[in-house]
Structure 1
Amino acid sequence: MSLTGSYDDANIFAKIVRGEIPSVKIFEDDAVLAFMDAFPQSRGHALVISKTSKARNILEVEPQVLAELAAATQKLARAVTAALKPDGVVVTQFNGAPAGQTVFHLHFHVIPRYEGEALGRHGGGMADIDDLKALAAKISAAL
């Protein structure tokens, strides 16, 4: 998918926002939702999305929405760091399929990194739901 085009209301994140597909939530408010990545690259990999914008990427997003997402991403990164004590943390965002974007609803990844542990493949194997729930509870408690 290119950097331009129409927003698809059937994308998985839009369905999560509407409650049509379950997610393991960490926190949310009227503007943003933070939840565990079901296909994590490392233990504690989480995502932040807008609940209001139909921006597919950072090039399309409204400035106020971007500010809300940035603040929520920082909040999540701090909570992940406090709860899981990783050796580092990657904050990333992809724009367009050639850049690695697989869901065309603007989102940010917060990926804890642990010394000596390889990073898993983007969109790799699905995580155990009970493990995700336990991680989400630990991260939420650190907010």
Structure 2
Amino acid sequence: MTGVPRRVCPGYVTCGDCSTSIAARAYQALERWQWQARGMDVRAELADASTGMAPGRIAAFGCGATVPASWPPDGALIDFDSDLLARAGAERPGAPRVHAIGIHTPYPDEYFDRVVISSRLAGLWDQHGELLLAEARRIGREVHVPLLHLAR
């Protein structure tokens, strides 16, 4: 066999003589963005997305540390920063919380009336945007993306 063999480890693939796995590089990018986005306040985005909405189920991908007073008490909180998610959850003890980016969630199809993808996910959009939209569209009847000014 010629060329540099690819090494395969459980759950990771490395290329040629590179010792950093694709998964490790993706995780490092997530950690960098987590720290950059830590101070982002998306309360206005969440308030705008929930204003005028008929009573129903709502979820936020990238909820941050604080949700607006207008956010429904049982509105689902989803965030990739476990510390900020815990703070948001402390404000809303009855709200379901999921520590995730939003690519895979535990919810069934069309569980929510609206899913909001906040600008806290801006730094992950190039890599995960299509997957985030696909998951939001799967679990929500309507998707609100302030970051892109898109609505479904």
With the length of structure 1 as denominator, give the TM-score of the two structures. 0.29
Q: Which has the larger radius of gyration?
A: 2
- When normalised by structure 2's length, the TM-score is 0.28
